[in-house]
Amino acid sequence: MDALIRTILSQNTTSKNSTRAKLSMDEEYGRAEYRKVLEGGEEKLEDTIRCGGLAKQKSKSIIGVLKRLDERQRNEGKGDTEQLSLDWLHQLVSHNSHLSLRDETD
C-alpha cells in the first residue's frame, strides 16, 4: 500500500518533495495508518501533503483509492476496524500466475 501511495505522491514533483509529503502523512496519521487517512478526509490530507505539490489532486486520488478499498473490505464482511490493505492482490497475482503456468504445460 505504501508503494501505491508513494507513487501517487511522486506524480509531477521531485523525489525530495514526494518524500516530504509522505513523511508529513506519517507524522500526522501514523505510518501506514490508511484508515485514519480515510477518516480524516480529503481536506485534512490536502493540508498534510501540501509540501509535495498538487495536493488537491493527489488527496482526491488517495482518498478515492482508500474509499474503494474500504468498500471492498466491507463487501467481504470485514469491519471498519481492520487496516486498509492491498494484500488481496497477492492472492490474485498468485492465482493468475498459477493459471498461466498450467496453460503452458497442458
CATH at 93: 1.10.340.30
Count of beta carbons in the 10 Å neighbourhood of residue 79: 7
Range of the domain at 96: 2-105
Banded pLDDT at 95 (limits 50, 70, 90):
low
* pLDDT greater than 60 at residue 100: no
How many domains, the chain? Answer: 1
* pLDDT greater than 70 at residue 23: yes
**What would the mean pLDDT of 84-106 be, rounded to a whole number?**
63
Supply the pLDDT for residue 86: 85
Using CA of residue 14, residue 17, residue 19, residue 22, what is the dihedral sign? negative
